[in-house]
Amino acid sequence: MHIACNAPDNVIDWANQVLDEHQERFAIVTTHMFLGPRDRPIQDVDYFDAPKGIMRWHKTYGDKGNSAEQLWNKCFKKHENIRMIISGDQSRSNAIHSKYIGEKGNVVHALLSDYSATEGGAIRLYRFIPEKDQIQVFTFNTTQDKLLLDTKIVPDKNEHYFTISTKLK
């Protein structure tokens, strides 16, 4: 399911309805902006150095827009079938993999990948392995024809190359 960046309440209502109607389905949410600097950056350096997580600020839909934190509280954490939230739009953060716990105890993997400003040609790939209840996540640099295991911004290999369990709880 794709949710617009900073979606207004009517979109959240629609998403809640669809997710309720399809509780038995494995849900992956994509959205433009979810992880990154938690608070709105004041200086350019804040995009790099400020604490990261679910964003508390928004940049679209004016007063009707919801921050990523509001999307989490109003929708995402309420649905046990949401297993992943994938976002981008934060090239100065490059990659983040965080785990959050939904209201029903389910693990929700929140993933950011945006290499556009620093690693031209890098792309995040997901390999689904149902028989093992896994999703392998890796980043491939198409211009260098090799796995991307680190960047200057995120030197930790585990942020670029890891496996997610798809088992409930």
Contacts of 130 (CB under 8 A, 6+ apart): 166
* Average pLDDT value for residue range 126-152: 93
As beta bridge partners, residue 84 has 28, 109
* Average pLDDT value for residue range 115-138: 90
pLDDT at 169 over 70: no
Q: Is the dihedral of CA 21, 23, 26, 27 positive or negative?
A: positive
pLDDT the model gives residue 93: 79
Domain that holds residue 75: 2-165
* Average pLDDT value for residue range 32-59: 90
* Domain count across the chain: 1
pLDDT the model gives residue 168: 66
**C-alpha Rg value of the chain to the nearest Å:** 16
**Which tens digits make up the pLDDT trace of 89-114?**
877 778 899 999 999 999 999 999 98
